[in-house]
Every structure is written in C-alpha cells, then in structure tokens.
C-alpha cells in the first residue's frame, strides 16, 4: 500500500467517524423534540463551511414544514413550524448549553399566548403576554421588576412585593397605590386625565414616601393641590436609582435623570435648555 493511498484511507475514515458523531448528536436532538421522520415526505439539508449540518427542513407537504437549525457542535439552536407560508405553532430558540433562550407561540403568523425570554442560566428575563397586551421584565432572582400595558403600570421590589400599582379604570380615572417592601400600603388614591392626584375625592396635599425593609427610602414625592412639587426620586427594587426629577407646580424643571437597572446613567433631559443625552448600558454615549 503506497503512502498516498494510506493518507487517503485515513482521511476517509476520519470523515466517516466525524459524520457518525455529528449524526449521533443531531439524531439525539431530533429525538428529544419527538420528531418522527416517517411523518414527513422529504428532508432538506444545509451545511456550514465545515460540512456540519446547519439546518434541517422536515417537509410534510407543500404547505407545511418544520425547520430545525443547529450550532456547529450539533446542538439544537431553534425550531420553527410553518403552515401556509406562515409561522404556526410553538417556536423555540436554545442556547448552546441546552437552556431555552426564548419560546413563542404563533397562529397563522400572529403572536398568541405568551412569549418568554430566558437568560443562559435558565431564569426568565421577559414575558410578552398577548392575552392582555402586557410585558413583564424580571430580576436575576426570577422576581418581576415591572409590568406594563396600556391599562397597567406596576413596579416591584426585588422580593416580589408590589411597590407601585397604577390601574387605568377609564380615560379619566386611574387607581393609584404605593407600598413599602414589607407589603404595608402607603397611599391609595386616584388620578384624573390631567394627572392630578386625589385622595378621598379631594386633591392630595402631602408627601408619599415608600421604604425598603431596612427603612431606606425607595420613593419620595411631595404634592400640592394634587400636583407634584419639589425634588423626587425613585429606586428600583434592587436599590439602584431609577430616576431623579424635580417639579414646580406640576411642571418638570431642572435636569431629569434616568438610570438603568444596573445603576448606570441611561438619559438626562435638561428642561431649561431642552438638551437630551442618552447612554447605553455599558456607559457609552449614544450619538
């Protein structure tokens, strides 16, 4: 056997071994998704530059298929079912470590139910709820940071306790509640269409101060005749500053500062000069 033939034989053997290993990894992933090849009339395949499988398209008919994509390691990356040229059914993306990255549900291309995003360690980071058109973001411990919709504005402490709860009853009435981290109610009232704050059907005059478990202030705002007045601030449930703002007779004055959850500055707005600046979460100025 000459040297060239030996090298060729070794290369072919290595390629065959690699193909078997790749097939085994991908086959395991396919089986984990309960995909039965017998249910499909055709399977289309695309490859990475290194010839590892990039996508598999399981074709059930001209109008229905399931698309699977893989990392170069052979680990599953995403699954997308389609019907009548529209995404239809449950879609999932995975991190390469096997944790779910996000999960979505579609009906003829339209988002339905809940779409959930996860961090690489498996914790929820965000839920878009299409049943009530709301979205919720989460702390690293899995507790909600806030929930928002056209009719709902809720902030939470890091222990899951509600901090602020605004519920829109109609175009001219919103119920307002503030709480301490221990769950004690601090204020209950309403606002009208002009955002004037009422308590017991009278314009509110006073101060709202919410506190963390150790007594530190999480929110503070003074009101005169139902309108915010003076300096105000609010902190996220993790104790980092959320915003700093100042009012005079209900109008913003001075510099309004907002912060990211990690405590870094997000934006500043100078109400006198109208100058606005914005930063990304790494601290870089956004041009």
Domain chopping of the chain, boundaries: 1-120
What is residue 24's predicted lDDT score, i.e. its pLDDT? Answer: 62
What is residue 10's predicted lDDT score, i.e. its pLDDT? Answer: 30
What is residue 23's predicted lDDT score, i.e. its pLDDT? Answer: 54
Token pair in block for residue 41? 């009339």
What is residue 144's predicted lDDT score, i.e. its pLDDT? Answer: 97
* Cβ–Cβ under 8 Å, residues 267 and 281: no
Tell me the C-alpha distance between 59 and 66, whole Å: 7
What is residue 31's predicted lDDT score, i.e. its pLDDT? Answer: 86
Alpha carbon separation from 286 to 246, 267, 275 (Å, rounded): 24, 10, 14
What is residue 202's predicted lDDT score, i.e. its pLDDT? Answer: 98
Segments of the chain with pLDDT less than 50: 1-22
What is residue 268's predicted lDDT score, i.e. its pLDDT? Answer: 98
User: CB count, 10 Å around CB of 203?
Assistant: 15
What is residue 141's predicted lDDT score, i.e. its pLDDT? Answer: 92
The CB-side HSE value for 234 (13 A sphere, CA atoms) comes to 21
């Amino acid at each position: 056997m000459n040297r060239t033939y030996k090298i060729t034989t070794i290369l072919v053997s290595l390629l065959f071994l690699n193909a078997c290993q790749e097939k085994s990894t991908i086959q395991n992933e396919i089986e984990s998704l309960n995909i039965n090849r017998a249910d499909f009339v055709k399977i289309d395949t695309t490859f990475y530059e290194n010839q590892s499988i990039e996508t598999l398209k399981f074709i059930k008919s001209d109008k229905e298929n399931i698309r699977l994509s893989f990392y170069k390691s052979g680990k599953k990356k995403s699954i997308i079912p389609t019907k009548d040229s529209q995404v239809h059914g449950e879609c999932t993306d995975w991190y390469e470590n096997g944790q779910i990255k996000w999960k979505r549900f579609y009906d003829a291309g339209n988002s339905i139910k809940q779409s959930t995003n996860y961090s690489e360690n498996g914790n929820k980071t965000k839920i878009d709820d299409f049943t009530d058109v709301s979205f919720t973001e989460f702390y690293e411990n899995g507790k909600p940071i806030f929930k928002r919709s056209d009719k709902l504005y809720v902030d939470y402490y890091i222990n899951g306790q509600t901090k602020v709860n605004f519920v829109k009853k109609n175009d001219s009435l919103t119920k307002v509640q503030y709480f301490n981290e221990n769950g004690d109610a601090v204020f209950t009232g309403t606002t009208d269409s002009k955002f004037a704050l009422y308590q017991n059907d009278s314009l509110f005059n006073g101060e709202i101060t919410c506190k963390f478990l150790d007594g530190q202030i999480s929110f503070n705002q003074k009101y005169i005749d139902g309108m915010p007045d003076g300096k105000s601030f609010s902190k996220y449930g993790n104790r980092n500053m959320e915003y700093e703002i100042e009012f005079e007779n209900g109008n913003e004055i001075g510099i309004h500062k907002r912060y990211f959850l990690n405590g870094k500055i997000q934006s500043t707005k100078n109400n006198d000069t109208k100058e606005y600046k914005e930063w990304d979460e790494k601290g870089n100025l956004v041009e």
